[in-house]
Chains A and B, each alone.
Chain A
């Protein structure tokens, strides 16, 4: 029997990214086979927008009971609802879909199995961040397109700021989702934690009290939450002239605190 000289110790002290392209493609293909994840990640915002627009009376009638000088005057309620729905799209993918996927992988030992291969287990986390980020954008674009077709929406006052707020919202909410994904031991726990963050934040973001009819107290509290800040920043940029400075700072702060924490606390098994 021949003995071969062992590879030099420490020649590759960390895992590699070899095969990441295939990992991303395979994960995306497998992810799409599930019903729940693609539905909530892609279709849910559109379903909510169209559902609310068609089911609730008066959503498509222009607002005429506000003062004529108000930014809301002449807009349809469903148009003022759109920024909130876009924020919800970010929240759904980042808080409900992604953490549960990662927690399931942890529970089933997929992360652990991967760490026995040359692929870094971080690869699968990054893959799901990308998948969910792309589906969030696709889901939001779909809601925008179908909302425009169905109701005729308002043209944003500051389209660039709306887009920037959307991106900042993704940063804050995916950081929060990643923290949940980092620490929950099982899918069931992941789901419970995600839901207990998701629904209060939707309330504070004005999903049930959009734009003009939002109580001031909710607005005051909501602007400090990642989802509320995203919804308010997009609402302000869509219908007003001012820059949503406070909300932007809030979103950057959440991301700056939560993402390093998530990376630090991440459990592989």
Chain B
């Protein structure tokens, strides 16, 4: 195993009474896309800001390229590109000016023109920051994080506020950047983003690491629960519910039956063989479902398994409207 390029050990950071980061440890290897995943307010941003030397930890150790960034943050600035959550430029600076300006701070900068081409910004070189769309601002922000030719780039919530197409384009871009040899630390509250992009990740909840591994490994490591969703027409739904509830009571592979999100839909959970039990039981009673599907497991199920509650990305936002959990 290669020497870790980023290392966080037992990090703790409080703001007065509020514990932002309780106890976080992880190590990032060179060349990977490493995810820090968790709901808002879980302590992700505080973790990377401390890592970048922008905040002073209460305790614990943070090392980037072997350097203690709490004490010698300036020593890694040339090699650490940071994209902060919110856009941070004068509204009247143009894309080209901003890139050339930031390039001038580094010892061995990337070519701003090449970077603009990579990030699809060449046509906007003369456009002022205040007039860019959300996606363009985000791409510029990524470009500024990369303009110093960093070894490591921290990307914090880079697709928040983007439309689905722009999100996918940004994901492709992150992969292309990784392919150039940059190690990427990706902070996100989007499960799908982490699942799609990360080689490895930590899931953070309430300032603690609750899970760590590859996305596939985490999902595979779940208890062998499976879920089958069957949908019936209005005539059959009631009878099907009785049949399946009865099945759950006597069959070892069938655990629980509940109503789904739409009328006539039934959600059956059980062991990994639950489908084999459900289909014959329906065949015996000649109940033909309009639709049968098995529910793919995702990191959301991992989160549910390790925290005991549904994943709510906005959990930490006081007064925020909470999105309903996916069925």
Binding site for B on A (CB under 8 A): 1-16, 18-19, 21-23, 26, 29-30, 33-34, 105, 108-110, 112-113, 115-119, 269
- Other A-B contacts than A1-B2, A109-B87, A116-B82, 13 sampled, CB-CB below 8 A, are A1-B30, A3-B3, A3-B30, A9-B71, A23-B105, A30-B97, A108-B86, A110-B90, A116-B54, A116-B80, A117-B105, A118-B148, A119-B105
On chain B, the residues within 8 Å of A12 by CB distance are 74-75
From residue A96, how far is it (CB to closest CB) to chain B in Å? 18
**Is the pair A22, B75 in contact by a Cβ cutoff of 8 Å?**
no
From residue B55, how far is it (CB to closest CB) to chain A in Å? 10
Instruction: Tell yes or no: B288 within 8 A of A by CB.
Output: no
Q: In the complex where A110-B89, A116-B82 touch, is A10 in contact with B101 (Cβ < 8 A)?
A: no
Residue on B nearest A25 in the bound complex, by CB: B101
**Is the pair B92, A13 in contact by a Cβ cutoff of 8 Å?**
no
**Is the pair A15, B75 in contact by a Cβ cutoff of 8 Å?**
no
Instruction: State the majority secondary structure of interface residues on B.
Output: loop
Contact of B148 among A14, A15, A23, A117 (CB under 8 A): A117
**Is the pair A34, B100 in contact by a Cβ cutoff of 8 Å?**
no
On chain B, the residues within 8 Å of A26 by CB distance are 93, 97, 100-101
Q: In the complex where A109-B84, A116-B54 touch, is A1 in contact with B31 (Cβ < 8 A)?
A: yes
Q: Please count how many residues in chain B sit with their CB below 8 Å of the partner chain's CB atoms.
A: 42
Contact of B77 among A30, A117, A269 (CB under 8 A): A117
How many angstroms from the CA of A2 to the CA of B76 in the assembled complex?
Answer: 19
From residue B98, how far is it (CB to closest CB) to chain A in Å? 8
* Residue of B71, B100, B105 most packed against chain A (CB within 10 A): B105
**Is the pair A6, B65 in contact by a Cβ cutoff of 8 Å?**
yes
Q: In the complex where A10-B71, A113-B84 touch, is A30 in contact with B93 (Cβ < 8 A)?
A: yes
On chain A, the residues within 8 Å of B78 by CB distance are 7, 118
Instruction: Tell yes or no: B10 within 8 A of A by CB.
Output: no
On chain B, the residues within 8 Å of A14 by CB distance are 74
9 A-B pairs with the lowest CB-CB distances in the bound complex, closest first: A19-B104, A6-B66, A109-B88, A113-B88, A6-B65, A116-B82, A119-B105, A22-B104, A19-B105
On chain A, the residues within 8 Å of B93 by CB distance are 26, 30
Instruction: Tell yes or no: B67 within 8 A of A by CB.
Output: yes
On chain A, the residues within 8 Å of B97 by CB distance are 26, 29-30
**Is the pair B101, A13 in contact by a Cβ cutoff of 8 Å?**
no
On chain A, the residues within 8 Å of B52 by CB distance are 116
How many angstroms from the CA of A115 to the CA of B69 in the assembled complex?
Answer: 13
Interface residues in B235-288 (C-beta closer than 8 Å to A): none
Q: In the complex where A1-B31, A30-B97 touch, is A13 in contact with B75 (Cβ < 8 A)?
A: yes
**Is the pair B92, A9 in contact by a Cβ cutoff of 8 Å?**
no
Instruction: Tell yes or no: B297 within 8 A of A by CB.
Output: no
On chain B, the residues within 8 Å of A1 by CB distance are 2, 29-31
Instruction: Tell yes or no: B72 within 8 A of A by CB.
Output: yes
How many angstroms from the CA of A113 to the CA of B147 in the assembled complex?
Answer: 14
On chain B, the residues within 8 Å of A13 by CB distance are 72, 74-75
**Is the pair B77, A18 in contact by a Cβ cutoff of 8 Å?**
no
On chain B, the residues within 8 Å of A29 by CB distance are 97
Contact of B105 among A30, A34, A118, A269 (CB under 8 A): A118
How many angstroms from the CA of A15 to the CA of B52 in the assembled complex?
Answer: 14
From residue A154, how far is it (CB to closest CB) to chain B in Å? 41
How many angstroms from the CA of A269 to the CA of B151 in the assembled complex?
Answer: 26
Instruction: Tell yes or no: B102 within 8 A of A by CB.
Output: yes
**Is the pair B79, A7 in contact by a Cβ cutoff of 8 Å?**
yes
Instruction: Tell yes or no: B106 within 8 A of A by CB.
Output: yes
In the assembled complex, 14 residue pairs joining A and B whose CB atoms fall closer than 8 Å, in A order, are A9-B66, A9-B75, A22-B104, A23-B104, A30-B92, A33-B92, A108-B87, A108-B89, A112-B54, A116-B80, A116-B84, A117-B77, A118-B74, A118-B77
How many angstroms from the CA of A23 to the CA of B82 in the assembled complex?
Answer: 19
How many angstroms from the CA of A51 to the CA of B132 in the assembled complex?
Answer: 40
From residue A112, how far is it (CB to closest CB) to chain B in Å? 7
Interface residues in B1-57 (C-beta closer than 8 Å to A): 2-3, 5, 29-31, 52, 54
Interface residues in B129-188 (C-beta closer than 8 Å to A): 144, 148, 151
From residue A33, how far is it (CB to closest CB) to chain B in Å? 4
**Is the pair B65, A116 in contact by a Cβ cutoff of 8 Å?**
no
Q: In the complex where A109-B86, A109-B88, A118-B74 touch, is A22 in contact with B66 (Cβ < 8 A)?
A: no
Instruction: Tell yes or no: B68 within 8 A of A by CB.
Output: yes
From residue A131, how far is it (CB to closest CB) to chain B in Å? 13
Instruction: Tell yes or no: B107 within 8 A of A by CB.
Output: yes
From residue A11, how far is it (CB to closest CB) to chain B in Å? 6
**Is the pair B107, A18 in contact by a Cβ cutoff of 8 Å?**
yes
